[in-house]
Amino acid sequence: MGLIIGMVSCQDKDDQKPDTEVSPNVAINKWIKEQMDTYYYWLEDMKTPIAQDLDPEDYFEALLNRPTDRFSEIYPNYQELVNSLSGVSREAGYEISLARESSQNENVLAFVVYTKKGSPAESQGLRRGDIITQINGQTLTLNNYQNLLRQRSDNHTVNFFRFNPETENYSPQPQISLETITLAENPNFLDTIYTINNQKIGYVVYHFFAPGIEGQPKRYDDQMDAIFGRFKAENINHLILDFRYNGGGFVSSAVNLASLIAPSVTSEDIFSRTKYNSFLSQFQEIRDLEIRKFDNKSQNLGNILNGNRIHIITSGRTASASELIINGLKPYMNVYLVGGVTVGKNVGSIAIEDEDNADNDYGILPIVSMSFNKDNQSEYTNGFTPNISANELSQQVLLPLGDTNEYLLGLTLQQITGVGARYNLVDRIEIGSSFEGKIRFGQQIENKLTLKNNH
């Protein structure tokens, strides 16, 4: 897709032809070093690997400014990287959060948090709130669950339990077989308007930031515009963004969404500031990218939100472009968070491929920038702490997303309306989820950085 392109290196190149007798890793690693010398944010702190014929993944890792740099990554296949960032991957179509069954045993429970439209998981009847205990006939435990989760990338079976509201207990369900298909996930998962105590509340569940897919490059952004067009026409009083599963994505979609929310902003108002490395900052075409302004949007909500406040549902999966939204909106409005502490990623990447070497399939996602809001604030490397702390796995059962009694949405609605249910919570020890393993998790993907001349 157009926003992720191979970068043109702008520093001096080694014109020597590669020696055909040396390891092919040498040419790949030279390319990696050349890109990093141009784009890497911590240029002055980049390390020097000992050997040029290292495995490229080891070579790339050896360059990085760890532990400060928590996020730069290399992937064996650039095209797979590109597809994943836009929500296209081969899978069965369900996401899970993991918790220990009990502190008294080693068993692990996989809570289905949502299934994807048009997926094998959806067609087989798997749904949010189901608890998977076995994959391919093996019980999930602390020792094997990571290996078993990897088996989900191929056709597999699951054994699971479902909550029965009549007995108020979980009961076993028949085993189901799930195939994997190439699935394009739409990040616009759910939108609705609630009317409670004469308050009109717009609710959006948004799973990642992507403008569209190949052939429809603005499809998802256009859908978001239409959602906010309806919210504006209905004259909502409150807005809830649900970012609990949103690990980030494209900055352009973050700008698009923020431009629909911040009160009456125009293309003259600053959404964020971006800092690049000392090499890139020499060039005017890069300096032109350092101030990112809002878009003009006819669907912008203006000043219709009560108290100039937005509510955002967060978790330990909320990262990058989601945090860019939180930070970017803070100078303009009251941002109220419900849920978990966010990841704490204030840096951005670009996806780079080697367009000159057909034998190099690698794609790299180095950190190339740091983000600040209009007021030059960027101090959230430890994450944003919510105003109300809550974990959805504290519910006895995960109610459907959008159900007003669902724990995190219910807490948020209670803050808005003063009306809410009492929750009987359970103590669960959360140990992870399927989100952290995704290529797009924790990403803040910048638009292209191109220097016009070979400097």
What CATH number did the domain enclosing 108 receive? 2.30.42.10
Which of 129, 153, 183 marks a domain boundary?
183
CATH number of the domain residue 196 falls in = 3.90.226.10
Read off the pLDDT of each residue in 379-408 and give the average, rounded to a whole number.
Answer: 97
Q: Is residue 51 part of a domain?
A: no
The answer to whether the CB of 201 falls within 8 A of the CB of 419 is no
Rounded Cα gap, residues 153 and 126, in angstroms: 17
pLDDT in tens, 196-230: 999 999 999 999 999 999 899 999 999 999 999 99
Rounded Cα gap, residues 204 and 171, in angstroms: 32
Assess whether 228 and 178 both reside in one domain. Answer: no
Residue 177 has pLDDT above 70, yes or no: yes
Is pLDDT at 4 greater than 60 in this prediction? no
> What is the Cα–Cα distance from 261 to 243, expressed in whole angstroms?
15
Residues 294, 325 contacting (CB under 8 angstroms): no
- In a shared domain, residues 155 and 231: no
Looking at the fold, whether 194 and 226 belong to one and the same domain comes out as yes
In a domain, 74, yes or no: no
Tell me which H or E stretch contains 114: strand 108-115
Helix (H/G/I), strand (E/B), else coil: 95: strand
> Is 6 contained in some domain?
no
Read off φ and ψ for residue 307, nearest 5 degrees.
Answer: 65, 15
Distance of CA 149 to the CA centre of its chain: 19
Tell me which of 132-136, 245-249, 448-452 is least confident.
448-452
Cβ-Cβ contacts under 8 Å for 120 (sequence gap 6 or more): 92, 93, 178, 179, 180, 181
Number of domains in the chain: 2
Euclidean distance between CA atoms 394 and 374, whole angstroms: 37
* Co-location of 119 and 263 in the same domain: no
Do 243 and 179 sit in the same domain of this protein? no
Question: Domain range holding 247?
Answer: 187-346+372-425
> Same domain, yes or no, for 223 and 208?
yes
Domain membership of residue 3 (yes or no) is: no
Asked if the structure places residue 246 within a domain, the reply is yes
Q: For 72-120, how does the pLDDT look when each residue is reduced to its tens digit (9 = 90+)?
A: 999 999 999 888 888 899 999 999 999 999 999 999 999 999 999 999 9
Other CB atoms within 10 Å distance of the CB of residue 190: 15
Q: Are both 170 and 274 inside the same structural domain?
A: no
Lowest mean pLDDT among 144-148, 234-238, 328-332, 442-446: 442-446
Q: How confident is the model at residue 1 (pLDDT cuts 50, 70, 90)?
A: very low
Model pLDDT for residues 307-350, shown as the tens digit of each residue: 999 999 999 999 999 999 999 999 999 999 999 999 999 999 99
Residue type, 269: D
218 located within any domain:
yes
- CA-closest candidate to residue 305, choices 374, 228, 244: 228
In a 3-state reduction of DSSP, which class is residue 207?
Answer: coil
Task: Give the tokens for residue 156.
Answer: 């597999």
Nearest of 314, 370, 385 to residue 40 by alpha carbon: 370
250-272 per-position pLDDT tens digit? 999 999 999 999 999 999 999 99
